[in-house]
Amino acid sequence: MLKILKYSFYDLMRSRWSYVYFFFYLLLGIVLLFLNNNLSKAVITLMNVIITLVPLIGTIFGVMYYYNSKEFTELLLAQPVKRTSIFLGQYFGVALSLSMSLILGLGLPFVFYGVFMSSAIWDFVLLLITGTFLTLIFTALAFNIALANENKIKGFGYAILLWLFMAVIYDGIFLMSLMFFEDYPLDKFSLIATMFNPIDLSRVLILLKLDISALLGYTGAVFQKFFGTNFGFVVSTAVLSIWVLIPTYFIKKQASKKDF
Amino acid sequence: MKLFYILLFTLFLSFPKQSAYGNTLEVCSSCEYKSIKVAIAQAQDFDTIVIKKGLYKEMNIVIDKPLTLIGENYPVIDGEFKGEIITITSDNVTVDGLFIINVGTSYTEDYAAIRVIKSKNFLIQNLKLEKLFFGIFLEKSSDGKVFHNNIIGDAVEEYNSGNGIQLWYCKNIEIDQNIVTHVRDGIYLEFSDFCKITNNKSRENIRYGLHFMFSNDDLYQNNIFQNNGAGVAVMFSKRIKMYDNLFKDNWGSASYGVLLKEINDSEIIGNTFETNTIGINIEGTNRIIYKNNHFTGNGWAIKFRGACYANNFTENNFLYNSFDLSYNSKLNDNKFDHNYWSSYTGYDLDKNGIGDVPYRPVKLFSYIVNRTPETIILLRSLFIDIIDFSEKVSPVFTPDNLLDNYPQMKIITND
């Protein structure tokens, strides 16, 4: 598996898209920092970008990579290599190279700006951690979609639909249900509903760390009480990990069953 | 003629104590007067009592004649937590340069470091007050001045702490250049008219930096209210003038830069509201002019709670607030014109400095949050940006006449 991971990783490192992705974040970081001159504001803007763009790029890139390397995968399958190690290797190769582009692309300008000397360091680290988690989650979901669909167009369609659902439609349904049941106590419900969407969970985690919780009023207090404690942090990290583990498990399951 | 001079001279000699300028009495451990109380008892009207450096364990000092008390090098008056320390009941009293500590705490009486009762023309200045219950308490007094005092409390809870400077049924009082920290309410006015509150700093108080009720025709200028538990609350008053104050860092789930309730016919001009949860919270206030204020980085710059009519917002700057405006009804009778909004995205083709497209300060999301507060958890979600945009294009829920017809293209500088 490690060999295939290494191969996928180097393959992607050589490809144009990783560089485009890397330079995009590099440029974004530089522009934000040197136009804004305010580290914590830059972190907020970055959050807006990360929670929408990272999942989108993760899904599209995952699906694209799977379909592009399909012939090579079929060649590999003819060799005496375990199936799961082929697919998991590919998955981690993609996810790791995307995460690396993200971390390096955003990290470098911030390091040069002096993030280590600033109090925003933990916000920034949290931002990168959630970004990495989102990459892992959405690449895994994309692989699942690609494995389930032979048809490229269908695969892409589902992938984009998945992103659209998680980033936009889910919040719409969430909002509607909050407004519909406004006569009932909704704190527990909104806590749980946030947990079920990794994008929302990341957003809330970062927002609370950025001391915006006072703005959130009573609901914010409930959230702060939950996420502000070590328990809450452990739970949210666990939930994000589960969000990585379950799709990965399904990749494994699908890969061992799939007929090529 | 010579005879007249001699007569005058002898006259002077024979009534030395009745001269209009008064005598000077000194208080210290080796002086004729060892305690302040004795000195006051012996003093005649318009005398000056000079208190030398030292520690005086005294309380319930009543100044019942027009005297001037001056401390040299900040003598310490220690009340030993027993009760009130200085009470002024006479007109024309000056208290200057004392260090007063350890005021008693009571749940039935408002013990103060200095209390002024039914007096006129007093001057309280250069005092340092520490470990206090109430600081300077003025009741039914007028025409006095509270100048350059430094009040440092150690309040932890609201119920067992007092206010820094409190006015009750007062008139024509000037409160200038005081610093008040760590008490319950920094400056508190009740039923006090025609007062001038200028150049004070009120910080880190448990409840309000400034609090007034039923106090009309007052002026608040150049004050700084920073990091107070609940910001500033002003209620049930008319004809208030608030100029050039700074309201900053009042950040918490129940904090306001300013909370206005039932305030009418007032002017709020040139103030700065920076990083407060809510810049101004408005409820039942009418005919107020908001001009040249700066709202920077607040959660809500202005939050309307209802029953607000004929307010006029002109030439204010709204910079990077999470919400510029929150409005809770479809009816609008307030004017928002010629302001600068940092989130304005319109254009100015004729280059006259005024945007060609009107700006709508109320976002759909702020309307939703008003209805269902829990929805705020969706703040900064992509979905919210999308519905805000669609509402901006064609307003359905937000009042359609609530707009700035002349949004400025550049930040307004008023000096």
pLDDT tens, residue by residue, B237-285 = 999 999 999 999 888 777 889 999 999 999 999 999 998 889 999 999 9
In the predicted structure, residue B18 carries a pLDDT above the cut 50: no
Residue B393: both structure tokens together: 């294009």
* pLDDT attached to residue B10: 53
Cα–Cα distance measured from residue B58 to residue A45, given in angstroms and rounded to the nearest whole number: 60
Percent of chain B with pLDDT over 70: 95
Arithmetic mean of pLDDT, A123-147? 92
**What's residue B19's pLDDT?**
45
Q: How far apart are alpha carbons B29 and B76 in whole angstroms? A: 13
Between A220 and A59, residue with greater pLDDT: A59
- The first and second tokens of residue A135, run together, are 């990459």
The H helix count followed by the E strand count for chain B is 4, 39
Q: Which residue of A has its CA nearest to B378?
A: A171
Contact yes or no for B374 and A207 at CB 8 A: no
**Residue B17 pLDDT exceeds 60:** no
* A13 pLDDT more than 80: no
Name the pairing type of β-strands B289-291 and B317-319: unpaired
Higher pLDDT: B112 or A42? It is B112
B21 confidence band (pLDDT: 50, 70, 90):
low
pLDDT tens-digit map of A234-250: 888 899 999 999 999 99
Average pLDDT in the A116-132 region? 83
Asked if B371 lies within 8 A of A179 by C-beta distance, the reply is yes
> Taking residues A210-224, what's their average pLDDT?
65
Chain segment A31-58, per-residue pLDDT in tens: 888 887 667 677 778 888 888 899 999 9
Q: What amino acid is encoded at A208 in this protein? A: L
Band of pLDDT at residue A82, cut at 50, 70 and 90 = confident
State the average pLDDT over residues B407-414.
88
* pLDDT surpassing 90 at residue A187: no
Residue-wise pLDDT tens digits, B203-236: 999 999 999 999 999 999 999 999 998 889 989 9
Residues in chain B within 8 Å Cβ distance of A220 = 253, 376-377
Q: B343 in contact with A at a CB cutoff of 8 Å?
A: no
- pTM for the predicted model, two decimal places: 0.83
Checking if the pLDDT of B6 tops 70, the result is no
What does the domain layout of chain A look like in residue ranges? 2-155+167-257
Task: Name the residue type at position A217.
Answer: G
pLDDT band at B343 (very low <50, low <70, confident <90, very high): confident
List Cβ neighbours of A105 (8 Å cut-off, separation of 6 or more). A21, A22, A23, A24, A25, A26, A28, A29
Residues of A within 8 A of B375 (CB-CB) are: 175, 178-179
Nearest to B277 among A179, A214, A221 (CB): A214
> What 8-state DSSP symbol labels residue B29?
T
Flag the least confident range among A77-91, B5-19, B266-280: B5-19
Please give the residue of chain B at the shortest CA–CA distance from A202: B381
User: Can you give the pLDDT at residue B215?
Assistant: 94
β B312-314/B289-291 pair status:
parallel
Q: Express as a percent the part of chain A with pLDDT over 70.
A: 93
Residue B16 pLDDT = 45
* Shortest Cα–Cα distance, B322 to chain A (Å): 9
For each of the domains in chain B, give its residue range(s) and CATH number, in order of start: 18-229 (2.160.20.10), 238-362+399-415 (no CATH)
Query: Whole-number mean pLDDT of chain B?
Result: 89
Q: What is the mean pLDDT of chain A?
A: 86
CA distance B346 to B407: 9
Which of A104-113, B147-156, B256-265 has the least mean pLDDT?
Answer: A104-113
Mean pLDDT of A178-205: 87
Backbone angles phi, psi at B64, to 5 degrees: -110, 15
pLDDT value, residue B219: 95
Q: Is B299 on the interface with A (CB under 8 A)?
A: yes
Q: In whole angstroms, how far apart are CA A15 and each of A22, A24, A71, B401?
A: 12, 15, 17, 54
Identity at B356, one-letter amino acid code: D
Q: Is the pLDDT of residue B96 over 90?
A: yes
Flag whether pLDDT at B2 surpasses 70.
no
CA proximity to B180, closest of B156, B148, B158: B148
- Per the structure block, which two tokens stand in for A175? 């909002």
pLDDT at A183: 86
B252 inside 8 A of chain A by CB: yes
What does the pLDDT read at residue B366? 87
pLDDT tens-place string over residues A25-36: 999 888 888 887
B386 CB near a chain A CB, below 8 Å?
yes
pLDDT of residue B1: 57
Pairwise CB contact (< 8 Å): A172 & B277: no
* CA dihedral (B378, B380, B383, B386) positive or negative: positive
A194 has a chain B CB within 8 A of its CB: yes
- pLDDT attached to residue A148: 92
As beta bridge partners, residue B362 has: B325
- A224–B contact, CB cutoff 8 A: no
> CA-to-CA distance for A145 and A65, rounded, in angstroms?
12
Q: What is the pLDDT of residue B213?
A: 93
In the predicted model, what is the mean pLDDT of residues A86-108? 90
